Chain A
Amino acid sequence: MKVTIDGIEIDVPKGTTILQAARMIGAQVAPPAMCYYSKLKTSGGYCRTCIVKVTKGSAQNPNPMPKPVASCRTEVMDGMEVQNFTSPEVLEARKGVVEFLLINHPLDCPVCDQAGECKLQDLGYENGSAKTRYEFKRREFEMIDIGDKIKLHMNRCILCYRCVKTAEQFTDERVHGVIHRGDMGEISTYIEKVIDNDFSGNVIDVCPVGALTDNTFRFKQRVWFTKPVDAHRNCPTCSGRVRVWLKGEEVVRVTARKDEWDEIMDTPDGKSGFICNSCRYDHKQKSDWVIEGPTQVNRHSVISQNHYNHLNELKVQVMKQQKALGFMPLDKKP
C-alpha cells in the first residue's frame, strides 16, 4: 500500500498504521507519540499528540477525513495522503494537546528523576509555548510506593495507560489500573499486585514521564551525569540484555535498552527486550555485567550531549526547556 506523508511516499504492508509508516520514513515526518507503544497491544489513541490530517482518504475514496485522526490507531489505505508537520492546522492542534497535557503538570523537572529523558519535556520543548495560560491550582496527589522498588508520583502522570497495559499483558491478576474518572483519574495501586511479577519493573521504562521511577535510583544522580553502556549477563528469566548506567565505576541503575522511538527494543533474534526485576534491581555491581560498549544515544537526547563534549550546550538547553515549561522554583516540594 502506498501512502504519502508530508510529501514523502512509502510502500507499506496492509495493516500498517500511519504512525508506523511515518516512522519507517523517519523522524522528519514521524509524529510524537506519548501513549502508543509498539510492544504493547491496544496501546495508543489516548494522548492525541500523534494526530495528523488525512487530506486524501485513499485512491478509491479520495475524500479527506473530516477530523484529525490519531495516527497511531489509524491504518493506512492505498493512496492515502497525510499531512503532519506540513499542516499548520495539525501543529496548532498538537500545540493544544501539549498545553492540555501541561496545565495540570507540576513541571518540577529540577527535582524530577525523569528530567533529561522525559518525553514530555521534549514534547513541550518542541510543541509547547513558553507561557502557560492556566492560572488555577494544579491537581495534586500523594506520592505512593508501589512495592519497595517503584515510586508513583501521580502528579506527573499523563494517563497514557502504558503501565496499565504493561501490567495487563504481563500478569493475569489485574483487570484495570485506573480508578476514578476524568481529571481525577489515578493509576490505581491495584497495580501493586503485579509487583510479585518478575517483569513489573518495566512499567518504569515504559512510563514516558517521571510518574513511575526507580526507587533504587531515585535522586541518586541526574541522568546526564551518568554514562549509559550496553551490557548483558546470562539471565535465566529474561534476555539479560540491558543498559547499565554508570557513575564512575558504580552502577547507579539498570534499564532495558531503548530504541530511537524511546521504546524497549527487541533482541536481535526477535525476543522481548523487557528485562526482569533481578537484572534491574539485584545486579548493581559492574562485575555482574559483560559491558559491550557505550550506548548509541539518540541525537536529541540531553544524555548524548554529556558524552560528546557538549556539556555547556546541554546546560543551556536544559535551562531553556525548563523555562519553556514554566520552571518551578527549586525550593518547592517535589
Chain B
Amino acid sequence: MKKLLIHNDKVPNIHTLDVYRAQGGYASVEKALKTMTPDQVTEEVKKSGLRGRGGAGFPTGMKWSFLAKPEGVPRYLVCNADESEPGTFKDRYLMEKIPHALIEGMITSSYALGAKTSYIYIRGEYFYVARILEQAIAEAYAAGWLGKNILGTDFSHDCHVQVGGGAYICGEETALLESLEGKRGNPRIKPPFPAVAGLWGCPTVVNNVETIAAVCPIVNMGGEEYAKIGIGKSTGTKLISASGHINKPGVYEIELGVPVEEFIFSDEYCGGIRNGKKLKAVVAGGSSVPILPTELILKTAKGEPRLMTYESLADGGFQTGTMLGSGGFIVMDEDTSIVKNLFTFTRFYHHESCGQCSPCREGTGWMEKILHKFLDGTANESDVDLLWDIQSKIEGKTICPLGEAAAWPVAAAIRHFKDEFLEIARKKKFTDVSHYNRLNKISA
C-alpha cells in the first residue's frame, strides 16, 4: 500500500527539520520555486484530482483557480486545523508527528496562490500541537524556508499559527475566518465566498491540513502520477481516523479504493471487531454523515462491495449510502445502542450550534431533549415521528452546514434503526448492554 503523507511517521525525530529534510522533506518547495510558475503548481494540483480532505470533498485545484486575484490586494491561505468533528483525529496525528509536512505544504501552496501570508488555525484543545508547529515554523525560518526571498527567489512568505478557543463551529470556514479576525465565530452568510472576500475581506483559500500536506507529494511526483493512485474521481491517499469497537484503532493512510470490509477486518488496518463481537454499524466519515448498518456498509444496495471512495460510500444516496466526509471511521459492535449513540452526537451538535439561525439553534436542543426521553424510558412511539419531522425542518434551512450535520445522523438512525427507538418506546425502558456502559456505569 502506497503511503504519501505519514510514510515516515515512525522515523525517530521526524518532527525536527534536520531529520525531515534528510527524509526528502521540502523537495516540493525547491521544485516549485525553482522550476515552476505558480500557475503550473495549480495545474498539477488540478491534474491530481485532489479533493478537499476536510469533509466536503471539493476539488482543490478548482477551488484554487476560483481565487480572485485583483491587483494590489493581498491574498491569504488559511489552513483549517480546527478538527473537531467527533471521530476525526487524523490532522492532529499528522501535525503532531510530522509538523514540517504541513509547513512544507503551506509554503508550496502559498506559492501557487500568490499568498505572502498564511495562517494555521488550530483548535484550542490542540494547544500542545500548536507548540509543536510553532517550533517547526521557527526552525523553518532559521533555515530560510520561511521569511524573505526563500531559496534566493523573490518569493517571500510568513506563516502564523493561531489557536482557536475550541469551538466546533470555528471549523466552518467562514466562522473560522471571523474567529481569525478576532470576532465571534459565527458563520458568514454566503455569498460572498472566501475566494472573493475572505480574511479581512481579501481573497482567501481555506483548506484542510491533510489537503495542504497532500500538495507536497503531488508537486514531487506530478499530478498525473498522483491521479493514478485511487479509483476514478477518488484519487490519491486518505488518512482515516479509525475508532470504536475495533482491535486496532488509530490513524491509517489508505489508497482510496480499499474495500470497506478489508479496512475493518484485515490486520493491516482495524484488525476486526473487538472481543469477538459482531459488527453492527459504521459511521464512515465523522459524526455528521449517515450511519449505515452492517449489510449496507459492507455492500451497496446493488450488492457490490462498498469501497473507501467518495463515490462508492455515497452510492445509493442517503437512502442506502453515506459519505466519506472527513474520514472519521467509527465502528460499532452488536452491543451498541444506536439511540444512545445518536443522543451523544445530537448533544454535541446542540452544544456547538452558534445560534445564529432559528432552526439549528432551537431544533438541535429540542432533538436532544427528545432523545433524552428515550434514555429515560419515557419516550412515546410518536416521538420517533416528531424527531423525524424536526430534523427535516432543520435540514437545508440553515446558514451553514452544521444544521445538516445535526439533522443527518438523526434521519439515518431512524431510517435504518427505527425498531430500536420503537422498542424503547413500547417497553418504556432503556437497557444499555454496551461494554463501555458496563465498564463505566455512566448514564446519559
Binding site for B on A (CB under 8 A): 44-49, 51, 66-68, 70, 73, 93, 96-97, 99-101, 103-104, 133-134, 136, 158-159, 161, 175-176, 178, 180-185
Find out whether the CB atom of A182 lies under 8 angstroms from the CB atom of B358: no
Find out whether the CB atom of A183 lies under 8 angstroms from the CB atom of B393: no
**Chain A residues, CB < 8 A from B361:** 100, 159, 182-183, 185
Is B221 interfacial (CB 8 A cutoff)? Answer: no
Given the complex of chains A and B, what is the CA–CA distance between A104 and B397 in angstroms? 19
Is B354 interfacial (CB 8 A cutoff)? Answer: yes
Given the complex of chains A and B, what is the CA–CA distance between A46 and B397 in angstroms? 10
- Binary interface profile of B, 154-193, with partner A (CB < 8 Å = 1, else 0)? 0000000000000101000000000000011000010000
Find out whether the CB atom of A175 lies under 8 angstroms from the CB atom of B183: yes
Binding site for A on B (CB under 8 A): 167, 169, 183-184, 189, 350-359, 361-366, 369, 386, 392-393, 396-399
Find out whether the CB atom of A183 lies under 8 angstroms from the CB atom of B355: yes
Find out whether the CB atom of B358 lies under 8 angstroms from the CB atom of A181: no
**Chain B residues, CB < 8 A from A136:** 366, 369
Given the complex of chains A and B, what is the CA–CA distance between A104 and B392 in angstroms? 19
**Chain A residues, CB < 8 A from B352:** 181-182
Per DSSP, chain A at the interface is loop
Find out whether the CB atom of A93 lies under 8 angstroms from the CB atom of B393: yes
**Chain A residues, CB < 8 A from B357:** 45-48
Find out whether the CB atom of B369 lies under 8 angstroms from the CB atom of A182: no
Contacts A46-B356, A68-B396, A93-B393 aside, 17 further interface pairs with beta carbons under 8 A come to A45-B356, A48-B358, A93-B397, A97-B359, A100-B359, A101-B362, A104-B362, A136-B366, A136-B369, A159-B355, A159-B358, A176-B184, A181-B352, A181-B355, A182-B353, A182-B355, A182-B365
Find out whether the CB atom of B359 lies under 8 angstroms from the CB atom of A48: yes
Find out whether the CB atom of B366 lies under 8 angstroms from the CB atom of A134: yes
**Chain B residues, CB < 8 A from A51:** 397
**Chain A residues, CB < 8 A from B350:** 182-183
Closest to B392 in A: A96
- Specify which of B184, B353, B358, B392 is in contact with A158 (CB 8 Å cutoff): B358
**Chain A residues, CB < 8 A from B363:** 100
Find out whether the CB atom of B393 lies under 8 angstroms from the CB atom of A100: yes
B372 to chain A, nearest CB (A): 9
Find out whether the CB atom of A48 lies under 8 angstroms from the CB atom of B398: yes
A302 to chain B, nearest CB (A): 25
Given the complex of chains A and B, what is the CA–CA distance between A111 and B91 in angstroms? 53
**Chain A residues, CB < 8 A from B386:** 133
Given the complex of chains A and B, what is the CA–CA distance between A185 and B351 in angstroms? 11
A178 to chain B, nearest CB (A): 7
Given the complex of chains A and B, what is the CA–CA distance between A46 and B366 in angstroms? 18
**Chain A residues, CB < 8 A from B397:** 48, 51, 67-68, 93, 96-97
Find out whether the CB atom of A103 lies under 8 angstroms from the CB atom of B366: yes
| With known contacts A93-B393, A96-B393, A136-B369, A159–B356 Cβ distance under 8 A | yes
**Chain A residues, CB < 8 A from B167:** 181
Find out whether the CB atom of B358 lies under 8 angstroms from the CB atom of A101: yes
**Chain A residues, CB < 8 A from B189:** 44-45, 70, 73
Given the complex of chains A and B, what is the CA–CA distance between A133 and B183 in angstroms? 36
**Chain A residues, CB < 8 A from B396:** 66-68
Find out whether the CB atom of A183 lies under 8 angstroms from the CB atom of B356: no
A210 to chain B, nearest CB (A): 17
Given the complex of chains A and B, what is the CA–CA distance between A159 and B364 in angstroms? 16
- 30 A-B contacts, Cβ less than 8 Å apart? A44-B189, A45-B356, A45-B357, A46-B358, A47-B357, A66-B396, A67-B397, A68-B396, A68-B397, A96-B397, A97-B397, A101-B362, A103-B366, A104-B365, A134-B366, A136-B366, A159-B355, A176-B183, A176-B184, A178-B184, A181-B353, A181-B354, A181-B355, A182-B350, A182-B352, A182-B354, A182-B361, A182-B364, A183-B365, A185-B361
Closest to B390 in A: A96
Given the complex of chains A and B, what is the CA–CA distance between A136 and B362 in angstroms? 12
A51 to chain B, nearest CB (A): 6
Given the complex of chains A and B, what is the CA–CA distance between A262 and B386 in angstroms? 34
Given the complex of chains A and B, what is the CA–CA distance between A159 and B354 in angstroms? 11
**Chain A residues, CB < 8 A from B353:** 181-183
- Please give me the 5 A-B residue pairs with the lowest Cβ-Cβ distance, nearest first: A96-B393, A182-B353, A100-B362, A185-B355, A67-B396
Find out whether the CB atom of B359 lies under 8 angstroms from the CB atom of A96: yes
Given the complex of chains A and B, what is the CA–CA distance between A73 and B398 in angstroms? 13
Closest to A137 in B: B369
A87 to chain B, nearest CB (A): 14
Closest to B363 in A: A100
Find out whether the CB atom of B355 lies under 8 angstroms from the CB atom of A45: no
**Chain A residues, CB < 8 A from B355:** 159, 178, 180-185
Given the complex of chains A and B, what is the CA–CA distance between A47 and B361 in angstroms? 10
